[in-house]
Amino acid sequence: MRDPFKLIGPTCLSFSGGRTSAYMLWRVLQANTREDRARWLVVCFANTGLEAEETLQFVARCSHEWGVRIVWLEYLGDDDRMFRAFTDPRWAAREGEPFTALIRRRQFLPNPVSRFCTSELKIRTMHRYLRAFHAWPEWDQLIGIRADEQRRVSKIRARGTSTETKDETMCMPLADAGVSVQDVAAFWKAQAFDLELGTANGRTMEGNCVYCFNKPPAQRLSIARAGRYPITWWVRAEDGSMIPGATGRGARFTKDGPSYAQIEQYAADQVDMFDHDEEALACFCGD
């Protein structure tokens, strides 16, 4: 049986900034020679500008500790040349600038039905970088989805290739290798460093965009109540103030559940009205 972490051609590893995708990166580094990695592997981290600072530091630490070049990417616009690519985390956007640029470009907010934030800020931004700097006719895209995430695994396997381009084949080496959340946790427990964000039931509460609308309201409320990360950007996005000349104020990322302004108020008032067993929506972003 072929080692699912063995490179067989041009490969882009999508590093979400979480423990699972970092573990996938480590397995890929262990399974391939330095020469093969230099020839075939590109590691990309697409920054939305709304990540926890701990996530950014973790990406930088993985690069430093493991001696691997990680390309940081940021959306600037829909044109193929409109993106930033760099390797120094000090240059990373930290005030939501890429996401703000996307909202102003589209003039409306993404939502669970039209999650163009993921496709534009991450998937297509990676594609733009690969087309601009790597003359690959086709490539494998490695994403950090585990064997225990069966709903996500089935959805991607049914699709076969990326919906964004036929040149890209989606690969899930962790799922193919039978890796579970327990395996990932055991790995990080044995390491000299870790992502400095807590977990609950195997998921990183503040992972990816801290207040992502795909996260259940109870999870977002818990984060707001802790008070470590401001929710201001999300409140402003929904009140329309980010879109010049907006006529439809009061737009929402999701119609089901509270607005971000309500979550902010509930946190201040110590109100808890949500289902704590509700699961996050499946997304490309991963862990």
pLDDT in tens, 40-76: 999 999 999 999 999 999 999 999 999 999 999 999 9
Confidence band, pLDDT 50/70/90 cuts, at residue 120: very high
On whether the pTM is more than 0.95, the answer is: no
Domains identified in the chain, total number: 2
Q: How far apart are CA 128 and CA 80, in angstroms?
A: 5
Which of 182, 200, 218 marks a domain boundary? 200
Of 215, 226, 234, 222, which Cα lies nearest the Cα of 278?
A: 215
Is pLDDT larger for residue 281 or for residue 185?
185
**pLDDT at position 285 over 90:** no
Show Cβ contacts of residue 172 under 8 Å, excluding neighbours closer than 6 positions: 142, 143, 145, 153, 156, 157
Please give the residue range of the domain that contains residue 245.
Answer: 203-269
Q: Would 25 be classed as within a structural domain? A: yes
Of 118, 109, 107, 41, which Cα lies nearest the Cα of 75?
A: 118
Q: Would 275 be classed as within a structural domain? A: no
> Do 224 and 186 belong to one domain?
no
DSSP 190: T
In this structure, of 47-51, 56-60, 149-153, 235-239, the range with the lowest mean pLDDT score is 149-153
Of 120, 75, 99, 118, which Cα lies nearest the Cα of 243?
A: 99
> Do 144 and 42 belong to one domain?
yes
